[in-house]
Structure 1
Amino acid sequence: MGKNYESRETMMGASTKQGYDIASKSREIVRSLIEAKIKNLSSKEQSIVERIVHSTADPEYAEITKISSNFIDESIKSIKAKKGILTDINMVKAGINKYEGEINCYISHDDAIKLAKDEQITRAAAAIRIAHQNDFDGIIVIGNAPTALFEAINLVEKEGMKVRSIIGVPVGFVGATESKEALTNANIPNIITKGPKGGTPVAVAITNSLIRMCDD
């Protein structure tokens, strides 16, 4: 595997010797399961995929995670500049830690609720519009709502929404696969998980991995 982008003390959230020992053993298992599958990735890409597999206990993510060539560099630039992070749901927001910039989620915002009702769209999609209206500039993290991902792509392409990169890993059997395919065809730095798999743990794992890279 490539260079370890997380220190001994903070690896996978470990903060005690017992925690470190568990995380270390888990990492060894993960590496044994996926090393051959990710050997052609860069060390930073390997670090992200490893963290996803560790967070989900699902080695298949080593095969279905696809990262655009400019995703990591653009994401790191955004994080170092303390640009915003926008999530589709509050659970994803809650999982992101140790970020010095602003993290927002508008899904429960009164304006998003009203817009969703008026336009007959999902609250997740409305929340992305509200973020755009509030001059969002940064990384969008979507782990659950395909409609939010479709809306983000549309706003970037048609209205010039300031998006540095998109973590597009919505989970589900309705719209998730299609929204990810649309993202790969858009001119936006991105990471996706092909097919219906994804979700909050994946979105959080990717985001925190990027933040750790900047810390290191």
Structure 2
Amino acid sequence: MFMGASTKQGYDIAHKSREIVRSLIGDKIDHLTSDEKAIVERIVHSTADPEYAELTIMSEDFVSKSIKSLKKGEDILTDINMVRAGINNYSGEVNCFISHPDVIKNSKDKQITRAAAAMQYAAENEFQGIVVIGNAPTALYEVIDLFNKDLMNIKSVIGVPVGFVGAADSKEDLNNSEIPHLITKGPKGGTPVAVATINALINFINKKSNKYV
């Protein structure tokens, strides 16, 4: 699947969109690898916002560690169901525990957000794979803490929560961590960015089987 396209008509539209995106941001992503460029292009395509070419930051090992995890079929964990719903064409498990009864109970008992409690629940249930956070800074803070305490087997984190409270700071903490990661600087981010990033990574491992790539 190429930038979300799975039909000839969709491919033609996506191809034209990519040409437009490249004309807008090409000079801003020249320093990136081809895979990193493809991720940023997909983010800009999905958001119609060229500013993401300058806001998106990836650790050097983000792409390689993420692809390795996906090839193994390891799990993907999201902060909210909207992010989970946007992830497609992956053969492994894609989970979101924010509505799980145990998470709801623990959230109330510990007086923490359900998003943070969901990360704790995943860690307690032997999660291993990629974490995708598009909305909840508290989930990102929790993931970083769990990783630092060696309580969560995280291969990489897409940390792009959106908002004016906690989003920028939590992403900066991730950027300063040892976790392979992708972030967007400042308050911008959200579900479209998170979904675009993980789907771009999934596309890297699936593209040999898609005739429109």
Shorter-chain TM-score tier: over 0.9
**For residues 190 and 137 of structure 1, what CA distance do their matches in structure 2 show?**
15
**For residues 15 and 65 of structure 1, what CA distance do their matches in structure 2 show?**
26
Partner residue of 1:3? none
Partner residue of 1:184? 175
- The more displaced of 20-29 and 68-77 is 20-29
1:133 corresponds, among 124, 132, 154, to: 124
Question: What does 1:83-122 align with in structure 2 at a 5 Å threshold?
Answer: 83-122=74-113
1:204 alignment partner, SS class: helix
2:2 touches 2:203 (CA, 8 Å); kept in 1? no
- The more displaced of 120-129 and 13-22 is 13-22
Q: 1:190 corresponds to which letter in structure 2?
A: H
TM-score under structure 2 length normalisation:
0.95
**For residues 195 and 17 of structure 1, what CA distance do their matches in structure 2 show?**
37
2:78 touches 2:132 (CA, 8 Å); kept in 1? yes
CA drift of 1:22 comes to 1.7
CA drift of 1:108 comes to 0.2
Stretches (4+) displaced over 3 A: none
| Structure 2 portions without partners, runs of 5+ | 208-213
2:136 corresponds, among 142, 145, 168, to: 145
Percentage of pairs with the same residue: 67
2:91 alignment partner, SS class: coil
What RMSD over aligned residues (CA atoms) do the two structures have, in Å? 0.8
2:159 corresponds, among 152, 162, 168, to: 168
1:191 alignment partner, SS class: strand
Deviation digits for residues 60-99 of structure 1 (CA, Å, limit 9, x no counterpart):
0000100000000000000000011000000000000010
Question: What does 1:1-216 align with in structure 2 at a 5 Å threshold?
Answer: 10-216=1-207
Q: 2:89 corresponds to which letter in structure 1?
A: K
2:11 alignment partner, SS class: helix
TM-score under structure 1 length normalisation:
0.94
**For residues 126 and 43 of structure 1, what CA distance do their matches in structure 2 show?**
37
Deviation digits for residues 7-56 of structure 1 (CA, Å, limit 9, x no counterpart):
xxx32222333322221211111000000000110000000000000000
| Structure 1 portions without partners, runs of 5+ | 1-9
